[in-house]
Structure formats: structure tokens, C-alpha cells
Amino acid sequence: MCGFAGFVGGVENRNQVLTAMMDTIVHRGPDSEGRYIDEDAALGFRRLSIIDLSEVGDQPFYNEDRSKVLVFNGEIYNFQELRRELTASGHVFVSNTDSETLIHGYEQWGEKLVDRLRGMYAFVIWDIEQKKLFAARDIFGIKPLYYAQMNETLLFGSEIKSFMEHPKFDKVFNEAALGNYLSFQFVPTNETFFKGVFCLQPGHYFTYQNGKMEITRYFEPHFTGDTKKSFEEVVEDVEKVMKESVEMHKISDVEVASYLSSGVDSSYLTYLGQVDHTFTVGFDEGKYSEIQDAKEFAESIHMQNDAKVITPEEYWDNLSDIQYYMDEPVADPAAVALYFLSKEAAKKVKVVLSGEGSDELFGGYNIYCEPLQHTGFDRIPLGIRKMLGKFAEVCLPRGMKGRGFLMRHGKTLEERYFANATNIFTEREANQILKKGCQPGIQKVTKPLYDRVRDKDAVTKMQYVDLHLWLVHDILMKGDKMGMANSLEVRVPFLDKKVLELAQTLPLDYKVRAPKTKVALRGAAEKVIRSKTAEKKKLGFPIPIRIWLKEEPYYNRVKEMFQSDAAKQYFNTGILLKMLDDHKNGKNRNEKTDNSRKIWTIYIFLVWYDRFFGHGKPVHPRMNIK
């Protein structure tokens, strides 16, 4: 596990520039560093030692004749199998790392290497003789890879902040991304909030040569639902593939621990992994803490659990540093909690298992039940439902019971469902609140995805959209960045090629039977863990934002930011302040107004903007400079 940064193109003081880029990502790899520099390219690497702890495992890695050089972030879980095949073909290995498999694999198979990989990865290979760069990202998007072409230079790396150290990088805010951010709570495309900076999408690779870039998609999930097996046989298959995936994800020369909530995903992984340590965080707010349930479960399977109660003060006081580590704002309050969770785990271990991806693969989100419910209302002609939905959006007060239902069911699935996030801004609301207005283009983002699964059932369509949007730009983004902020590797056994192959064959009835979700997965889990946990309804990561925003200290923090110059530049601040006051006080005695997610989305953006654009160059939080 590590981070890398580099560039192709001419610049003075190449070594000094690369060193500065590498220093910004030292948190991703504090154990060692390495670099390759020639007159055309520079590749820098920071290492967190997990497999082959010796210096022999340091990157960059070269092939036998040193004509190709690699930097790599991630883990290749089938590297031993690939190594045997490559050795039989005559390749000579000098280490026991999975990294070296990539450089020899590229020699042997070229771009087809990516079809053979099982793991999480982002890597770059520089062909010294051909002056050609090859870069690839894993099929789920577990590991990040950013790039920018500007001023006759290609910049690439694990985190955007490293680009700011290069003299040919133009740091310009991409205001065009703001509209979609307000609706999705993240930027849902390959664009970023930095103009000209893009993220390579999952299952893609690119080649760069003579100033030209070619991007290729090499993998796409295909949900067939075509298994002919009985439910009992499928449950056995789930159990078998998950056991094997967890074993693969435990390959390490250091201890592997596990995150643990009170839900089925992390609990099942914890049991299968038989880890020594588990870690949990929560809040001293009753229903906003899963600590007690997690401790009870850990005790039931004879495992140790380390838990931390996050105070409101430390949650809010760390927001600016957390946005620094994130690179881009993600307005999911759980991202902040993950920072503290990874910080606790990093005190004892370097690697943890985590349950991301099970909901997208096995049908776990509660909203997936919605197309299977309320079928009576949905029989009303769509034209009438559209009128009712428009009336609800324009005329009914926010927070009124039934308003959201009418709005959602006044639209087709393709019109209403764009990500597993609720209570964020509609396009109409985003246009009202942005000073210059916007064209968020939600449909422009989602239509190509829906077009590729037009013949599937509603739940499968939602899964497909979430796999490409919510999972990539929210779940995995915060998982990687918050873990790496604390030099912690987060492994996700549900997001495994073999697990996906099985999940793609599950028919609807094995995924969702409203109100029950993840039917087959829960069936497998219930064979080995207690029913109370296996059958628990999905809770998410509960954060008391709604409560805090009604309290004076945090209300005042947000109010001050809503009155800042940045807020005035981009937003109609009168609407912002009214939204904040309505949430704190309620519009009237008969209405409970919950604007917390909208407020938080804008506040997090402003905190991020202040860190990256408000004071010039953002400063590493471990330095005593602000």
C-alpha cells in the first residue's frame, strides 16, 4: 500500500519538484520512499510496508533490463498465481512483493495484464525506450488515480494535492462542478473541483505517448440474474466465495484487523477473518452509537473490540484537516467518522477489513425495496402522478410527511433515482441557491448508465447506478482517503472479482424481498453469526448532524461560514441563512424542518474551498502552520 505522484514533461529542478510532490502524500506511505527520474518523466513513491517488509520490496520496480519502471498503489491478491505463470515463462523476480508481478506481467501480456488481475490497484508503468506511459485503475475504483494535462505536461498521482507542487499546474476552481455536487453530495463524473484535473474511472486504463492520451474501458459489470440454483445452493456459494475472498484479503506480513459496526456486513467479515482486533466508533447520543451492539457481538465470537466515543468538539474541530486529506468535498457526514475510526485502528495495526460494497453487489440498501412496494399508488397514470409530484415540490412545506413520497413517485425510476443519497438539493433548489444559477444535468450523468441496463429490473438498475456513482465517488473515496490519512490500509473483501461474478447471477428474489434486503448474503451470515446481527436492518453510519446544527456553538460556526466571502461569491446567502434558521427553529410549531443534509453539503464545500482556495497553498495538517 502506498501513494505515488509523478509527471511527464520538461521542468527545471526535476528532483526538487518531485520531492515536493511526494512530501504532500507522506501520510500514504511513511515507511520509505523511492523515485525514478529521467529527462522525460519522473515517478515518485511513498511506501506503507505490508508484504515483503524488506527494502527489496521498495518501489519503483524495474523489469530485468530496466527498460520499464513501475509505481503502484494497492494489493494484487492473485499475485502468487500470476508469479508462478510468469516464472515459468522465464521472468526473474528479485522480491516477494505483489508489485513486481505487475511489471513482469506488463512485459508478458501488455495492456491485457489488467484482465488477469484480482485486487485493488492504481498503477503507472513508464516505458523508458518508447517514452510511453501506461496507467490503470481497478474494476471497482477502490484505489484513486488522478491526472491532468496542462502546459505540455502530464501530471498523475494518488492525490490531487501533489499536483499543486508542480510549477506547471494551474490551480483553478471548476465552478461548473458545483451544481451536480449540490444534488449528489459529491462530484459524480470523471471531473473534479480542480479545472483540468480528472479521475480515471474504475475498470479503465490509459496510455500517454507523444502528448496524446487514449483511455480504454477494459471491464464492465453485467448483472444477468440467470442462476438456476436453489436458494440453499446459492447461500452455500455465497459462504464459499466470501470465505475465499477474506482469506485472499488477509494475505499480509503484518496483522490484519477489522472495522466493526452493529450490522451484518462488518460482523460477517469479522467472523470469517477471525481477526484479533476490531474497532468501532460512535457518539454519546443514544441511537447515534453502535458501540454497545458491536461490543456485544465481538464478545459473542470471542474477539477484542476497541471503541471510541467521538465528541462533537473534535468532530467539528477536525473538519478542515479532513477536507485537506479528502482532496475534494464529499458531504457524507460518515466520512468524518471514518477518519476517527481509522485513526483508532492505526494505533495498533496497518491493515483492516471493511464491509464496503456488499449493498451494491447483494442488494442491501433499504431504498431498493421501494420499487417492490407501493405498487397500488404506482398504478395511477404517470401523468397524474407527475402533477401530484410537482405540486408537492412547489407547494408543500419541506419536512411535511408524504412530500418526498409524492415527489419520487411523480417521476420514473430513471428520473428520480440518481444515487443513494436523500434530502440533498433537487435541480430546482440548486438553481435557486446558486448565485449564477446552474445546469446540474443529473440526467446527463445517469442516462448513459440507465441506457446500459434498460432491460433489467428496477433494483438491478439502481445497483448499477450506485456501483458507478455512489460507491466510487462517496463510499470508496472516503474509505481510501480517511484510511490513508492515518497510514492505514483498508481492504474490502466484498469488492472482489470472484464475489462480483457470483453476485451478478443472483435473481431479484435472492437480493430483495421487501422489506428484507441482501437476502442471500444474510442467509449465509446467519449460518455462523447470531440472527440479531444477521437480520438487522441497514442503519448506515448514524451521525447527529441534525441535532448539532440546532446547538449554538455549531449553528454559529455554520452561520459564520454562510456569511463568508466565498459563500457570497457562489450562493444566495439570504437563502442559506434562512435555511439554517428554519432548521434551528422550525418554520412554525406544526412543522419539523430538517435541512441538515442540505446545510451540511454547502458547509463542507465551503470548509474545503477555504482550505484549498481561501488561503493560497493548503498546508499539511501535521505541520504547525495554518
**CA pair distance 474, 332, nearest whole angstrom:** 7
Q: What are phi and psi of 213, to 5 degrees?
A: -115, 135
pLDDT tens-digit readout, 524-570: 999 999 888 888 777 767 789 999 999 999 999 999 999 999 999 99
Question: Strand 197-199 relative to strand 153-157: parallel, antiparallel, unpaired?
Answer: unpaired
**pLDDT score for 625:** 33
Which of 229, 245, 221, 139 lies closest to 520, judged by CA? 229
**pLDDT score for 285:** 63
Active site residue 199: no
pLDDT at residue 589 greater than cutoff 50: no
Residues in the chain, overall count: 626
Report, as an integer, the average pLDDT of 305-324.
Answer: 96
Query: How many Å separate Cα 548 from the centre of its chain?
Result: 25
Of the candidates 2, 369, 395, 438, the residue annotated as catalytic is 2
What sign does the dihedral 93-97-98-99 (CA atoms) show?
negative
**pLDDT score for 624:** 43
**CA pair distance 309, 427, nearest whole angstrom:** 37
85, 74 contact by CB (below 8 A):
no
Least confident of 56-65, 200-209, 411-420, 511-520: 56-65
368, 459 contact by CB (below 8 A):
yes
Query: How many Å separate Cα 275 from the centre of its chain?
Result: 24
**pLDDT score for 11:** 95
**pLDDT score for 626:** 32
Please state the pTM of the whole predicted model. 0.94
Q: What is the DSSP string of 368-380?
A: GGGGGS-HHHHTS
- Containing H/E element for 223? none
Could you give the dihedral angle defined by the CA atoms of residues 310, 312, 314 and 320, in that order, rounded to the nearest 10 degrees?
120
Mean pLDDT score of the chain: 92
pLDDT tens-digit readout, 385-422: 999 988 988 898 876 888 888 988 888 999 889 987 76
**CA pair distance 142, 338, nearest whole angstrom:** 16
Query: What SS3 state is found at 601?
Result: helix
pLDDT at residue 126 greater than cutoff 50: yes
**pLDDT score for 49:** 62
Q: What are phi and psi of 447, to 5 degrees?
A: -60, -45
